[in-house]
Structure 1
Amino acid sequence: MTTTRDPDRPGRLLRAERETLLPLLRRTPPAFFELPTACPDWTVRELLAHCGAALVRIIEGRLPAFTPEHNAADVAERADWPVGRILDELEFGMAGAGPAIEEADGGLDVIALGEWVHAGDVREALGLPGAYESLGTNDAIALLATVSRERLTPRVCAITPYGDWVLGNVVDGRAAAELSCDEGTLIRMYTGRPVAPERYRLAGASREELVIYR
């Protein structure tokens, strides 16, 4: 499946997580916010602080940003915030950042994808099934298809239970790689999350070549 840019797609992804993740988090016991996540050195609470801060930066036009230094400073600034305040900021960001991302004409689409992936990181940390297959999966993979080209990954034809996808770029003298897996595994592979070897079949490329976040 090839894709053209749908300007509302990033906003839909954020709204999907506002509708599904936020209600879950508001009834999650406080101790769970101190669990580790797939992001090194960040707990669930710290990861959510990063996500909310990034969206507020977009809404307020405080760009460019999103370097490791910016991210660390944003999390440190919120170190003494109660969890409820962190969730309030995240909900505000998920509700309001879509139009600003749309106006960026694709330049910030990767941030919306990252927010959706981080929501999966949170679900994974909380031990929930299907962490990276929540509402919005097709929009997330459509964004991933674009980002995989921008990040210069090789051409991959991916076959999933609910559709086929073309990701990455044609490389001279090299045939397209073939990947067979479910949608959640596809997201995991391209974002560098742990994947059990039996969850996929990949020929013509290495896992390391596919990762978009380095």
Structure 2
Amino acid sequence: MDVEVRSLVERARVHAALGDPARLAIVDALAVGDAAPGELGALLEMPTNLVAHHLKVLQEAGLVIRGRSEGDHRRTYVRLVPQALSKVGIPPLSAVPRVVFVCTHNSARSQLAAAIWSRRSHVPATSAGTQPAERVHPRAVKVARRRGLDPEKWRTSQVNDVVKPDDLVIAVCDIAYEHLPAEARPRVHWSVPDPAPADTDAAFEAAYDEIAGRIERLAPLVAQSKRKKAGA
């Protein structure tokens, strides 16, 4: 009985948190990617103190968590708790012709993301880096093969050579997100920890699992559109 009461209390807290239109708008904004509080305020035209209040309520309801940027350590990013997504209806995204996953070196997270996406969605996907490495990280290749992906043709690329204006750009690391050029927008941010510093199979497996989970939630929301031809 105590378990049932606690469950009812938790559900009531979630429903109360989502009962405010402003908080529901924040949840919608975070449904596809992470954002700094200031970015949420700018997007929703909401003053800083009000954003802070609503985030506090959402955090206490177990709907969002915060994490510090691996790039600019002064910044924090807010993200939805994955289990929370089952409690809210998420609006679909506009149709896009292609998804481009970006990280700093294009040597692990973005490569894995593009491959996972291609297995999950009919929308084409590729990857690029803001500072491409000379080769894909060996542990990323190892994890890919262990998970049934084919990394044989993976090559690193520069973001400016890949991204087109109507691509849906998804930055899978904080540093790349903070340094994406303006022409790479619109963009989504996933604050996925870099597995390279740890340089262990476990770290790369954890990155794979987080990316795969995010793709599993996002892919059904993205419909494919045909890319417009030049001069059309």
TM over 0.5, shorter chain: no
Q: Which has the higher helix share?
A: 1
For the aligned pair, the TM-score class normalised by the smaller chain equals under 0.3
